Amino acid sequence: MSKISRRKLLKIAGVAPTALAFASVLPPNASAASGKTITAVMHSDLRIIDPGFTTAYITRDHGYMVYDTLLSTDSTFKVQPQMADWKVSDDKLTYTFTLRDGLKWHDGAPVTGEDCVASLKRWGKNDGMGQKLMDFTASIEAPDAKTIVLKLKEPYGLVLESIGKPSSLVPFMMPKRLAETPAGKQMAEQIGSGPFKFVQSEFQPGVKSVYAKNTDYVPRKEPASWTAGGKVVKVDRVEWITMPDAQTAVNALQSGDIDFMENPPWDLLPVLEGNSDLKVEVLNKFGFQTLGRMNFLLPPFDNPKIRRAALLAMNQKDVLDALVGNPKYYKLCGAYFVCDTPFASDAGGETLVKGGGMAEAKKLLAESGYDGTPIAIMAPGDVTTLKAQPVVAAQLLREAGFKVDLQATDWQTVVSRRAGQKPVKEGGWNMFFTNWVAADVMNPVANVSIGGRGKNGGWFGWAEDAKIEKLKDEFVRAASLDDQKKIASEIQKEAYDQVIYIPLGQYLAPSAWRKSLTGVLDGPATPIFWNVDKSE
Q: One-letter amino acid identity for 265?
A: P
Helix/strand/coil (H, E, C) string of 408-449?
Answer: EECHHHHHHHCCCCCCHHHCCCCEEEEEEEHHHCCCCCCCHH
> For position 496, what pLDDT does the model report?
98
E strands, 258-395, are 260-261, 278-281, 288-294, 330-331, 375-380
Q: Is 363 exposed, middle or buried (0-12, 13-18, 19+ CB in 10 A)?
A: middle
Q: pTM for this one? A: 0.89
Q: What is the CATH number of domain 68-179?
A: 3.90.76.10
Cβ neighbours, 10 Å, residue 273: 13
| Sign (positive or negative) of CA dihedral 153, 155, 159, 161 | negative
> For position 208, what pLDDT does the model report?
97
Residues in the chain, overall count: 536
Please tell me the distance from the alpha carbon of residue 76 to that of residue 73, in angstroms, as a whole number. Answer: 8
Q: What is the CATH number of domain 288-507?
A: 3.10.105.10
> For position 28, what pLDDT does the model report?
43
> For position 30, what pLDDT does the model report?
42
> For position 536, what pLDDT does the model report?
76
Residue ranges for the chain with pLDDT beneath 50: 1-33
Using one digit for the tens of pLDDT, what is the confidence trace for 171-229? 999 999 999 999 789 999 999 999 999 999 999 999 999 999 999 999 999 999 999 99
> For position 500, what pLDDT does the model report?
98
Using one digit for the tens of pLDDT, what is the confidence trace for 357-380? 999 999 999 999 999 999 999 999
Contact 193, 105 (CB under 8 A): yes
> For position 34, what pLDDT does the model report?
61
Instruction: Give the residue among 237, 233, 231 at the shortest CA–CA distance from 219.
Output: 231
Q: One-letter amino acid identity for 115?
A: D
| Fold agreement (30-50+190-284+511-534, 288-507) | no
> For position 16, what pLDDT does the model report?
37
The torsion angle over the Cα atoms of residues 158, 164, 170 and 174, rounded to 10 degrees, is 120
Q: What architecture is domain 30-50+190-284+511-534?
A: 3-Layer(aba) Sandwich (3.40)
Sequence ranges of the domains in the chain: 30-50+190-284+511-534, 68-179, 288-507
